[in-house]
Amino acid sequence: MAEAGLKDMADRLLAALLATEQNAADDGVSIEGLKRLSGGANMETWSFDWVCNSATEPLILRRLPGSAGGLDHPVGELTLEAEAALLDVAGYNGVCVPAVRLVLRAEHGLGEGYIMSRERGEALPFRLLADDFYRGARERLAYQCGQALGRIHAIPLNLLPPSLSDHSGGRLFVRAQELLDTHGNRSPVLQLGLNWLRDTPRQNPQCTLVHGDFRNGNLLVDQDGLVAVLDWELAHLGDPIQDLGYICANVWRFGYPKPVGGFGDYADLLAGYASVTDVAPAMADIHYWQVHAALSWGMVCLIMLEMYRSGQDSSLERAAVGRRLSEAEIDLLLLMEGDS
């Protein structure tokens, strides 16, 4: 963004935050260090400091990409307004999340999004998995992830935003079949994986809040372990074990051997979960949702591949993700053979 655009954005942030402060004078406030943190197509993330009456508050702006008007539709399962409301509920119920500072409105001229606290820590998987600074964190992180998931799944349903999608029962698989059909069902292996899931359903699953994207890369970590759970845009209602299987998917291990995000063991994840819920899920159920995670990643790769081939998006990022479809297919075949 050009310097003039950055200044305009900073001025709009200043006005939006100033309106929330009762005792702030115009000459005692400023926006400092405004910069874009991510270049993803789904969400924009901006970092800045809000200086008010000589106090500095580190903040994050999360908004839909594009112009100040944002997009005409939500990218994930939730609108960003509902996502902000969900963060409030999760924090109130003991989940470590950033605190929402302000939900944007039309008059702010910043598009759809919200401002939240900027927490300490690192989210880049390769740094978390390789840097000796995080060695101690890696030893306790799987247990802490289990605890965080236990708290997420324990949130009473009546407290959740009413706009949450319901993916419980067979709804999730109906959506998956529709997506495969839309893209010409070009992968027999993905169809085989979906058939396997439908033919071997879990018995009497619960229906709770599911984060939907709980993985290495969406976890903020410092040297003591988990600091905050990020990126709630895919949250929905469904089987809670989905989250446990998802973080154990091969794709989120980033080449490292540990089954939980590349950093931890199944036993620690399940022990942390049981410490909160008094429930120890069976490994067969974890395995079931690992199959689903491999299928889901394969469908993402398929979508990216079709976007690239059609010319809708000819970026290198789309091609690079699309070519990984074969990896997801291999993961699916191995999982269905019982090798996780």
The verdict on 205 and 303 lying in the same domain is: yes
Q: Which residues pair with 52 in a beta bridge?
A: 29, 55
Kindly tell me if the per-residue pLDDT of 187 is higher than 70: yes
Helix (H, G, I), strand (E, B) or coil at 233: coil
- pLDDT tens-digit profile of 220-236? 999 999 999 999 999 99
Choose one of 117, 135, 164: the last residue of a domain: 117
The verdict on 198 and 277 lying in the same domain is: yes
Q: Which residues pair with 101 in a beta bridge?
A: none
Kindly tell me if the per-residue pLDDT of 71 is higher than 60: no
Confidence class for position 340, pLDDT limits 50, 70, 90:
low
The verdict on 83 and 230 lying in the same domain is: no
Choose one of 94, 117, 140: the last residue of a domain: 117
The verdict on 227 and 198 lying in the same domain is: yes
Q: Which helix (H) or strand (E) holds 331?
A: helix 325-336
The verdict on 82 and 133 lying in the same domain is: no
- pLDDT tens-digit profile of 229-287? 999 999 999 999 999 999 999 999 999 999 999 999 999 999 999 999 999 999 999 99
Structural domain for 320, as ranges = 125-336
Instruction: Indicate the number of domains in the chain.
Output: 2
The verdict on 161 and 238 lying in the same domain is: yes
The verdict on 110 and 156 lying in the same domain is: no
What CATH number should be reported for the domain holding residue 255?
Answer: 3.90.1200.10
Choose one of 117, 147, 176: the last residue of a domain: 117
Is 135 exposed, middle or buried, given 0-12, 13-18 or 19+ CB atoms closer than 10 A?
exposed
In degrees and rounded to multiples of 5, residue 39 shows phi and psi of -115, 20
The verdict on 157 and 82 lying in the same domain is: no
The per-residue pLDDT of the chain, averaged, comes to 91
